[in-house]
């Protein structure tokens, strides 16, 4: 990989994946420009900030005439992609566009069939057209950049800064102890990509000039192996002194009692149902690994999340202790524990509604 400082532009750069890309690029000694509205967060120390607003005419004029060795974009609105392409496509050495596995039309099987794209000038932000919008964004980037473009399709991105906390629910819940609701079956496959691994790979790929379209995802593992791994990581760090006490509850029972998938209120992070999502957690990781993606062990991902959040956690997904207790009580045929309301009041984290789509970077 090149060790020469590069001119790097991160479109966004103030939230989660894009912020991690910008931070790691600064740490590598690159000259980093973060271009955003500046309303969602702060750019990392050492990066230059340029104010842009893709939603208004002339909103990216501050980028015109500039040249960059590498550009990184996480946009999901097609109409927001064209202005930056018009301003920079001919002045960029490499272009990395972060898409999503939501571009795939089917999740019940592993399939490469894509959603039909939205119109290239679409401004629709609805989650219902998220995958179709990303297809349109991909097409715009390919048409303008050709073999200078790398398009990656992440699955669930987890780690510090995740505004949906798919992973984060589990270490914090395990740290609290007691009986823990777990979604059966144990064999249900899931996948993720660590935000640090992903950002590192994208920077390496820009150095190497990697192009094409690749899924950005780790190897699939069962829900049981995942939860066992989270528990083992917490034991290694001395957070807990025994394996978590997991009670495996069938998905039909969970759904009947109002437990949600994915993220947000009353959800179990990382969990989706079978068979509707059997293909969602089974996509091949091999092509990305062959292209340089290096995957952290689960223990390292948990350790990074814990180090970033444990001192003052503010969880954004998961079951309240009251809700979990009600479901477990119904499963066991007993009365709920009234003391769980006190535990909820004492918790150091909150559970607001999700702020971004499931794959947003």
pLDDT in tens, 175-191: 999 999 999 999 999 99
Within this chain, do residues 147 and 256 fall inside the same structural domain, yes or no? no
The residue among 69, 234, 214, 232 whose CA lies nearest residue 152 is 214
200 within some domain: no
Within this chain, do residues 111 and 236 fall inside the same structural domain, yes or no? no
CA distance 98 to 193: 13
- Cβ–Cβ under 8 Å, residues 361 and 74: yes
Within this chain, do residues 253 and 337 fall inside the same structural domain, yes or no? yes
Within this chain, do residues 58 and 108 fall inside the same structural domain, yes or no? yes
Whole-structure pTM value: 0.93
Domain total in the chain: 2
Within this chain, do residues 320 and 178 fall inside the same structural domain, yes or no? yes
Within this chain, do residues 34 and 130 fall inside the same structural domain, yes or no? yes
Residues near 178 by Cβ (< 8 Å), separated by ≥ 6?
Answer: 245
351 within some domain: no
Within this chain, do residues 115 and 261 fall inside the same structural domain, yes or no? no
- Cβ–Cβ under 8 Å, residues 329 and 335: yes
Dihedral over alpha carbons 35, 41, 45, 50 (to 10 degrees): 20
- Split at pLDDT 50, 70, 90, the class of 348 is low
**SS3 of residue 11 by DSSP:** strand
Give the total residue count for the chain. 361
Range of the domain at 329: 169-191+220-281+297-346
Among 29-43, 140-154, 319-333, 346-360, which is the least confidently predicted range?
346-360
149 within some domain: yes
Within this chain, do residues 230 and 110 fall inside the same structural domain, yes or no? no
Three-class SS of 67-132: CECEEEECCCCHHHHHHHHHHHHHHECCEEEECCHHHECCCCCCCCCECCCCCCCCCCCCHHHHHH
Strand extents, DSSP E, 185-288: 189-190, 193-194, 212-216, 221-222, 245-249
Query: Which CATH number do you get for residue 94?
Result: 3.40.50.720
CA distance 358 to 361: 9
- Split at pLDDT 50, 70, 90, the class of 5 is confident
Within this chain, do residues 98 and 131 fall inside the same structural domain, yes or no? yes
- Cβ–Cβ under 8 Å, residues 324 and 268: no
Among 113-122, 147-156, 164-173, 349-358, which is the least confidently predicted range?
349-358
- Split at pLDDT 50, 70, 90, the class of 3 is low
pLDDT tens-digit profile of 297-314?
Answer: 999 999 999 998 877 777
pLDDT of residue 361: 42
């Amino acid at each position: 990989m090149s060790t020469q400082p590069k001119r790097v532009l991160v479109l966004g750069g103030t939230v989660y994946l894009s912020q991690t890309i910008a931070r790691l690029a600064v740490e590598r000694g690159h000259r980093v420009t973060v271009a955003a509205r500046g309303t969602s967060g702060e750019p990392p120390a050492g990066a230059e900030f340029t104010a842009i607003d893709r939603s208004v005419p002339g909103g990216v004029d501050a980028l015109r005439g500039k040249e960059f060795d590498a550009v990184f974009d996480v946009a999901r609105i097609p109409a927001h992609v064209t202005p930056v392409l018009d301003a920079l496509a001919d002045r960029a050495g490499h272009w990395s566009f972060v898409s999503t596995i939501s571009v795939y039309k089917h999740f019940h099987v592993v399939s490469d069939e894509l959603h039909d794209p939205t119109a290239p000038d679409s401004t629709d932000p609805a989650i219902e057209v998220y995958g179709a919008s990303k297809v349109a964004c991909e097409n715009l980037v390919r048409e303008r950049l050709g073999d200078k473009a790398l398009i990656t399709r992440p699955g669930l991105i987890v780690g510090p800064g995740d505004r949906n906390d798919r992973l984060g629910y589990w270490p914090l819940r395990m740290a609290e102890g007691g009986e823990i609701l777990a979604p059966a079956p144990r064999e249900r496959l899931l996948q993720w990509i660590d935000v640090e691994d992903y950002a590192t790979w994208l920077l390496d790929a820009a150095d190497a000039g990697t192009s094409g379209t690749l899924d950005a995802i780790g190897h699939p593992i069962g829900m049981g192996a995942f939860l066992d791994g989270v528990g083992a990581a917490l034991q290694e760090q001395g957070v807990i002194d025994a394996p978590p006490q997991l009670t495996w509850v069938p998905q039909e029972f969970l759904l009947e009692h109002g437990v949600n998938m994915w993220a947000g209120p009353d959800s179990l992070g990382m969990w989706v149902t079978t068979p509707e999502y059997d293909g969602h957690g089974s996509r091949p990781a091999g092509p990305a690994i062959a292209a340089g993606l290096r995957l952290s062990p689960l223990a390292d991902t948990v350790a990074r999340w814990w180090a970033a959040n444990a001192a003052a956690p503010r969880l954004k997904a998961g079951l309240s202790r009251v809700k979990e207790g009600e479901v477990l009580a119904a499963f066991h045929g007993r009365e709920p524990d009234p003391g769980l309301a006190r535990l909820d009041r004492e918790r150091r984290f909150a559970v607001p509604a999700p702020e971004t789509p499931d794959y947003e970077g």
